[in-house]
Amino acid sequence: MLAAPANDAQREAAQALADKTGVEVHWGGMFKVDPTEENTFEISYQDLTEKRYVQEAYDLVVLCSDVEPPEGLAELAKTADIELADDGYIRVNGEAGVETSREGVFAAGCASGAKNIKDSLTGAQAAASSAAAQLDPRQLQADGAEAPAGAGEQSRPPLPPDTRQQIEQLLYALIDR
């Protein structure tokens, strides 16, 4: 198994599992994989434990990559006044798992942790639906149209038609309608 550097607890857990199963673990980075004629894999990587370049053939390779929060996420969280979790990603909660510590601000995709594409899209849809639910429906009405029943007593001027259309297109694209 070729793994990226991990914290000490993760490294110890991986090594204990490797010792139990007899699997070789190499802590490396900057790898290249080439199939060989003997149905093995030639792996070239930088061994981070021994600080050397390695090129060896293996029967099976399991790549475990270390995932880190996107660059600039901490600055964005500070600017938006939202909390980060201990792992450096945006702390989310709520039923959909997209609500942040600041009302009206939602996180989707890998902003709240490593996710596959399907989970990222599901989170984006939940965030878009949550955001849409907070919009004042009167803001999305065409000029001259009546506000829906129960929209409240306050009256706000409508958005310009092109802005309203852009918002609607974005929201419908995000919630796949």
Dump pLDDT digits (tens) for 81-117. Answer: 999 999 899 999 887 889 999 988 999 888 888 887 7
Closest CA to 174 of 129, 120, 111, 118: 129
Q: What single-letter DSSP state applies at residue 114?
A: -
Give the C-alpha separation, 148 to 138, whole Å.
Answer: 7
Look at residue 153 in the predicted model and tell me its pLDDT: 47
Per the structure block, which two tokens stand in for 101? 């510590």
Helix count (H) and strand count (E) of the chain? 4, 5
Tell which wins on pLDDT, 152 or 98.
Answer: 98
pLDDT digits (tens, 9 = 90+) for 19-67: 888 877 777 776 788 888 888 888 888 887 778 888 888 776 666 655 7
Helix (H, G, I), strand (E, B) or coil at 41: strand
Closest CA to 39 of 19, 17, 61: 61
Domains (ranges, CATH) in the chain?
2-64 (2.40.50), 84-175 (no CATH)
Measured between alpha carbons, how far is residue 10 from residues 48, 68, 81, 111 in Å?
15, 14, 31, 22
Residue whose token pair is 């053939």: 57
Range list of β-strands (E), the chain: 2-3, 26-35, 41-47, 52-58, 63-64
Contact, 120 vs 108, CB < 8 A? Answer: yes
